[in-house]
Amino acid sequence: MRLLNILKEDNIIRVSPEDHLSHVLAKLSTSHDAAFVFDDKDKFLGVISPYYSAIKSSHPGNTKVINCITRPPKVYLNFPISKVCELFIQSKIHYLPVFSTDDRFQGIVSVRRVLSHFKNMPIFKTKLGDIARKYNRTLVTIKSDDSINDAFHLFKEKKFSKLVVVDFAGKLKGILTYYDIINFIIGPKNKKGKANKIGNKSSFYNLHVKTFARSYVITMNKDKELVDVIDVIIKKKIGSVIVIDKNRVPIDIVTSSDILRYYITKEKSGFFKQVSSKIDRLLLKKET
């Protein structure tokens, strides 16, 4: 699989270094998105990443783009897919610039485009329940009536970008993303409905999580497979799926980054070489 085959050259979110951060963030929907900054001579300068510009650095909305540019890792056309996956995970940016060997900007590659390449791979026929057991993960949740202040503490402590929201009985109510909260704080002041309810800063932190939680989430049961998650992430343009039991109690969350890590683990274990070797032996037997 060549990177050139999943390269995106058109419909890239391009912004000017003179734009304001709030204007750019309005074009993005998650903390892993990116807008690509070019000067008036079409030279690539870097990206605006909500994770770095709004969350990690907390720039105010009226900051000019030139003052909060992030220099993302460069992807080259000759990079293997596993290397690209590692750069997505390390940078926390799901859209990266791609360059030729002589450093000319060629386009971008996205996590979803890489996932589209994974769809037909047999390694992703693994059941979600098996993934949860294998990695022995404990799902971190927050109650819908907990405060935004409680959520901030969890975000900081666990270093997560999203939290699964449950009711008093532990049943799924939605999902809360760090970016939704931060984007509201620094975004344009046209959200008057919510703004009037919030009032001052201290009352904002006392608001319930359900004020900002998204109630629409994609769920699957533990008997579904990773390939099903990949399919829905691509079709719905989302970043994660929540795994629930028969009582709608969440037991795991599978993110696009988890899928990238799974692929990297399989490659490093020599899985693909083993499969290739078996295929070669089968072909050799047929020839003889």
Local mean pLDDT, 10-residue blocks, the chain (288 residues): 86 96 90 95 95 82 94 95 96 96 96 93 92 81 96 88 95 92 65 52 84 94 96 94 96 94 89 48 48
* Confidence at residue 36, expressed as pLDDT on a 0 to 100 scale: 98
Q: Which residues pair with 214 in a beta bridge?
A: 175
Give 23-38 as a DSSP string: HHHTT--STT--EEEE
* Confidence at residue 280, expressed as pLDDT on a 0 to 100 scale: 41
CA distance 10 to 124: 29
| pLDDT tens track for 98-112 | 999 999 999 999 999
Flag whether the pTM goes above 0.75.
Answer: yes
Question: What is the overall mean pLDDT for the chain?
Answer: 87
* Confidence at residue 279, expressed as pLDDT on a 0 to 100 scale: 38
Crossing angle for the helix pair 256-268 and 226-236, to the nearest 10 degrees: 140
CA distance 108 to 113: 10
- CATH superfamily, domain 3-116, is CBS-domain (3.10.580.10)
* Confidence at residue 283, expressed as pLDDT on a 0 to 100 scale: 42
* Confidence at residue 278, expressed as pLDDT on a 0 to 100 scale: 45
| CATH number belonging to domain 122-264 | 3.10.580.10
Indicate the domain borders of the chain.
3-116, 122-264
3 state SS for 95-112: EEEEECCCCCEEEEEEHH
Domains 3-116 and 122-264 fall in the same CATH topology: yes
